Each structure stands twice: as structure tokens, then as C-alpha cells.
């Protein structure tokens, strides 16, 4: 990226400039809306667009029947593909979520979310969504690869095993996988996709679909399935793996958390090539799937009240060497990136659930724009942690950096020195977070999405003003 590439305007153009909305003026408006959402992220359209004409233009685009969410997602996926060029593989974490949207009188065309056993037996309303993001081999978020929205109109009475695929929400997982492959198709000749899914995806149809798609996958196991090992013996997967000697061990630091003490866990690693017996209890049929299993388990004595750590991973990646196995484990850790994205999207600066739109279709458009903004915040966060010495010009424009230095010098601590020259991405991100209320060690860790998002809200208008003054010839 060059000096201007990652400015709000240039980012919006890179993200949405290729969106096919049937009219170049609509695409131009979309880019303008995305830029403004970066400058002042919020779930409420009225808080992002405070100018009357700008706000009306945003509502006009959201209400335009020619603007479909698929066009936005295709453009966003194309941006991920471009950022992925030259990589040996790209991690694609998938996960499901819900958007709880205001609909107190059930007059909007939203669907049911949550549990029917909630307060007063009433289910919340909103949108269901499955998201897929791109993450590079270093763990840096690249953007949104795919999203599938739907509205749940009724609670299913039949058990999942008794329903056909077209009647299960499993079909949305398959659709998101296919959408990601389609959107990132321009890079697959050189770069493989490596799907990362949690236990909810340990379903027969999803495993079969992944095995046929031609890409890598890792799914955390949720069932003690029966397997046939290389000798043809049939037993439960945990029993089969427990008979093997560990491939290796390593020490994992477990940080302190709710109900959990900090400790160093000794983890054993076992792996095997097996044939999974994918049994359908309803039809009484079974299908065989040749795949690999990696089982990681905490060994030794546990402190009182602590839960033993354990992961069972189903993958088609090679497990021939310990290096291969460690790459599988590392890849699965990248699945957490999508949970962090959902947190920033729903509860951070973007606060998507605060929107007050009245149509599910329009809500999807606005939610998707905010999803792109959330991923930009996540990308900046991880670049500062993983590539701290990168010059800030790789992600911030000249005006953003100049405004940041000016603002930081005004808000610096008494003995703090702000050096001249281009800051590193780590320095710039820390300064942005400082503007957003980050207090260092007392904040509980490195800058997170919330303080970075707040800081960007503070920074972006100042950068826009500097640019306007410079273009008007009023800067010395």
C-alpha cells in the first residue's frame, strides 16, 4: 500500500469501488457512505451522516431496490483476494451469529433469534448471519470473504436429523463456504483456502461438503464418532487415539480469566489418519470420510476447580510431521479472529445492533458496510501487534499521520516525547488508542478494538480537515 492507500477514502474505494450496482452513481454513493462510516462509525445511520443532504443520500441508497447485499459482498471478497496475492494459503474462519434488532411490535420483516425460553417466553427479533473472513498466514485480518443472512420465521418442531438439507440451517453454512470460494476465486490458482470452523460445524453434510470443495479445512470435533483406523479396526475416535503414543508435547500458557487461574499447561499431541463413520441416525445410513484427526489434551494434575483443556480437530491437512501438526493447531487458533470481528461489529464502535432500519433487506446492506469498517479496525489492531515495525504509511494516509502527531502532542503525558518522522504502525496504533481512552497497562492488555475505534473517530475528522485545508492552499 502507498501513502494514500489506507486513508478512509482510498480504503472505501478499494473495498467497494468494484461493486456492481447497475449504475456508477450508486457505486460512488456506496463508496462515499463507507468512507463516512469509517470517519464516524455507529449503528445508527443518523449518527454517521449528520449533514441533512448526506443523510438523505444514504437513506436513498439503502432503500434503492437495485442495491443488493450480494453485490457489496462480491466487491468485499474481491478486496480480500487482492490482499491475499502471493500467500501460500489464506485462513478462512467461519462462524454464525445473530443481530438483535429493535422490533418491539413485530411489525418489521425480521425473524426470530435466540431461545423461545427467554424472558416471558418471547424470542428476540432480528437477523441470523454466518460470516467468513480472510486471515493471512501471519494472523492479520484481510477482510470479509463472505456473509449469508437469513430470517428465521418459525422454531422448527422436528429434530434436525428428521429434516432434509433444504429445511435445515446447515444449508447456510454450505452457502457461505461456496460464496467464499467464489469471491476468492481469482487467487485459488496460487493460494489455497483453509477453512476453520468450530464445533457447531461438526455435521455430516458440512464435513462432506468441505471434503469435496478442493480446499483445506479444520473443524473442531463435537462428537465421539466411530472411526476405522489404518488397520481397519473400528472404534470410537477417542479410544483409537488414546492407544497411540503422543507425537509430541508442548507447554501452553493459560492466562487468568473468569473462573480460571493462570497456569502453564502441559499439552500432549496425538494424530492419526482415519476413516470417519458419518452416521445418519434418522435414515440409519453411514458414509465413510477419509480424513485426519489431531487430538490435543492437557496432561497431569489440574488445580482444583479448573477444567482440562482439550481439542479434537478434523482436518485434511497433512499430519506427517510434527511441524504439519503444529500448523494445524496454529490455523485453528486463527478461528478466534472471527469472534473478535463479531464483537467489534456488534458491540464495539460499529454497534450494528443499534440500527433502526425497518426492512431486513436494508438492514443487511447497512450491516455489511459496518462489517467492512469493523474489519478495518481489526486489521489495524493486529498489524500493530504482529508487524509493529511496519511504517504507519502502510495503513494510514499522510493526512491521518500528520493529524495524529498534532493531536498526540496536544494530549501527551508530561514527560512523553513524540518523535519527528514517520511512526511505526505500533506507535501510531498506540497513539490512536490513547486518543480513544487507552490507559496502558491499567487497560488490561494491548490496545483493543474499542479504544482504537474511539481513537479513529477522534482522528478522522482532523485528518479530513487537514486534507481540505491543504487542497485549498491554506496550509503552509
Q: How many residues does the chain have?
A: 476
Position 3 scores a pLDDT of: 38
Tell me the torsion sign for CA atoms 55, 57, 61, 65: positive
Looking at residue 417, its pLDDT comes to 77
Q: Which residues of 285-305 are buried (b: 16+ CB within 10 A; e: fewer)?
A: eeeebebbbbbbbbeeeeeee
| Domain 70-229+271-295+307-346 in CATH 3.10.450.50 | no
What is the pLDDT, as a whole number, of residue 149? Answer: 97
Ordered by start, the domain boundaries in the chain are 70-229+271-295+307-346, 392-471
Are the C-beta atoms of residues 92 and 179 closer than 8 Å to each other? no
Quote the cell numbers at residue 199. Answer: 464445533
> What global pTM score does this model have?
0.86
- Kind and range of the H or E element at 367? helix 360-386
Comparing CA positions, the residue from 278, 366, 309, 271 lying closest to residue 69 is: 366
Quick one: pLDDT at residue 157?
55
Beta strands in 64-175 (DSSP E): 89-100, 111-113, 124-135, 141-150
| Cα within 13 Å of Cα(17), Cβ side | 8
- Tell me the β-bridge partners of 146: 132
- Collapsed DSSP state (helix, strand, coil) of residue 154: coil
User: What are the φ/ψ torsions at residue 220 (nearest 5 degrees)?
Assistant: -75, 125
What stretch of H or E contains 248?
A: strand 248-254
**Sign (positive or negative) of CA dihedral 388, 393, 397, 400:** positive
Provide the residue-wise pLDDT of the chain in tens; the chain has 476 residues: 333 344 778 889 999 999 999 999 999 999 999 999 988 888 999 999 988 999 999 999 999 999 999 999 999 999 999 999 889 999 999 999 999 998 888 889 898 987 655 544 467 899 999 999 999 999 999 999 999 999 988 766 556 555 676 668 899 999 999 999 999 987 767 789 999 999 999 999 999 999 999 999 999 999 899 888 667 778 899 998 988 889 988 888 887 777 777 888 889 999 999 999 887 766 667 788 999 999 999 988 888 888 888 999 999 999 999 999 999 999 999 999 999 999 999 987 799 999 999 899 999 999 999 999 999 989 888 888 888 888 888 788 888 888 888 888 887 777 777 877 888 988 888 888 888 888 876 656 788 878 888 888 788 788 888 888 888 887 76
Helix and strand numbers (H, E) in the chain are 14, 12
Cβ atoms 191, 329 nearer than 8 A:
no
CA 279, CA 207: separation in Å to the nearest integer?
12
Amino acid at each position: 500500500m502507498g501513502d494514500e492507500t489506507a486513508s478512509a477514502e482510498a480504503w472505501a474505494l478499494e473495498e467497494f469501488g468494484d461493486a456492481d450496482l447497475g449504475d456508477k452513481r450508486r457505486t460512488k454513493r456506496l463508496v462515499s457512505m463507507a468512507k463516512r462510516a469509517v470517519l464516524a462509525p455507529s449503528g445508527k445511520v443518523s449518527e454517521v451522516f449528520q449533514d441533512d443532504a448526506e443523510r438523505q443520500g444514504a437513506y436513498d441508497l439503502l432503500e434503492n431496490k437495485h442495491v443488493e447485499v450480494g453485490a457489496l459482498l462480491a466487491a468485499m471478497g474481491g478486496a480480500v483476494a487482492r490482499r491475499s496475492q502471493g500467500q501460500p494459503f489464506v485462513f478462512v474462519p467461519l462462524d454464525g451469529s445473530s443481530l438483535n434488532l429493535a422490533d418491539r411490535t413485530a411489525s418489521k420483516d425480521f425473524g426470530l433469534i435466540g431461545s423461545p425460553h427467554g424472558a416471558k417466553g418471547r424470542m428476540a427479533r432480528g437477523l441470523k448471519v454466518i460470516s467468513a473472513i480472510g486471515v493471512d498466514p501471519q494472523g492479520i485480518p484481510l477482510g470479509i470473504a463472505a456473509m449469508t443472512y437469513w430470517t428465521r420465521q418459525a422454531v422448527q418442531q422436528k429434530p434436525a436429523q428428521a429434516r432434509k438439507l433444504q429445511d435445515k440451517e446447515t444449508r447456510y453454512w454450505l452457502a457461505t463456504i461456496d460464496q467464499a470460494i467464489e469471491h476468492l476465486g481469482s487467487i485459488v490458482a496460487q493460494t489455497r483456502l483453509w477453512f476453520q470452523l468450530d464445533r457447531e460445524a461438526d455435521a455430516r453434510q458440512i464435513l462432506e461438503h468441505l471434503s469435496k470443495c478442493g480446499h483445506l479445512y479444520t473443524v473442531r470435533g463435537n462428537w465421539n464418532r466411530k472411526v476405522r483406523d489404518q488397520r481397519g479396526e473400528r472404534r470410537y475416535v477417542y479410544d483409537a487415539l488414546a492407544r497411540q503414543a503422543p507425537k509430541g508435547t508442548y507447554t501452553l500458557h493459560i492466562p487468568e480469566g473468569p473462573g480460571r487461574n493462570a497456569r502453564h499447561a502441559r499439552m500432549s499431541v496425538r494424530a492419526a489418519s482415519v476413516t470417519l463413520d458419518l452416521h445418519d441416525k434418522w435414515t440409519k445410513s453411514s458414509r465413510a470420510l477419509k480424513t485426519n484427526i489431531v487430538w490435543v489434551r492437557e496432561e497431569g494434575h489440574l488445580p482444583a476447580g479448573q477444567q482440562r483443556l482439550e481439542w479434537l480437530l478434523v482436518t485434511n491437512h497433512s499430519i506427517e510431521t510434527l511441524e504439519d501438526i503444529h500448523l494445524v493447531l496454529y490455523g485453528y487458533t486463527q478461528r478466534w479472529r472471527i469472534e473478535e470481528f463479531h464483537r467489534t461489529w456488534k458491540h464495539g464502535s460499529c454497534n450494528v445492533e443499534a440500527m433502526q432500519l425497518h426492512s431486513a433487506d436494508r438492514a443487511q446492506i447497512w450491516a455489511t458496510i459496518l462489517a467492512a469498517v469493523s474489519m478495518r479496525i481489526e486489521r489495524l489492531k493486529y498489524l500493530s501487534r504482529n508487524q509493529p515495525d511496519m511504517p504507519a504509511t502502510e495503513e494510514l494516509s499522510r493526512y491521518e499521520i500528520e493529524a495524529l502527531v498534532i493531536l498526540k502532542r496536544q494530549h501527551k503525558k508530561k514527560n512523553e516525547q513524540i518523535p519527528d518522522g514517520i511512526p511505526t504502525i505500533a506507535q501510531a496504533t498506540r497513539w490512536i488508542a490513547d486518543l480513544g481512552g487507552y490507559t496502558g497497562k491499567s487497560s488490561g492488555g494491548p490496545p483493543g478494538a474499542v479504544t482504537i475505534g474511539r481513537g479513529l473517530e477522534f482522528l478522522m475528522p482532523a485528518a479530513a480537515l487537514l486534507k481540505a485545508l491543504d487542497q485549498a492552499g491554506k496550509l503552509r
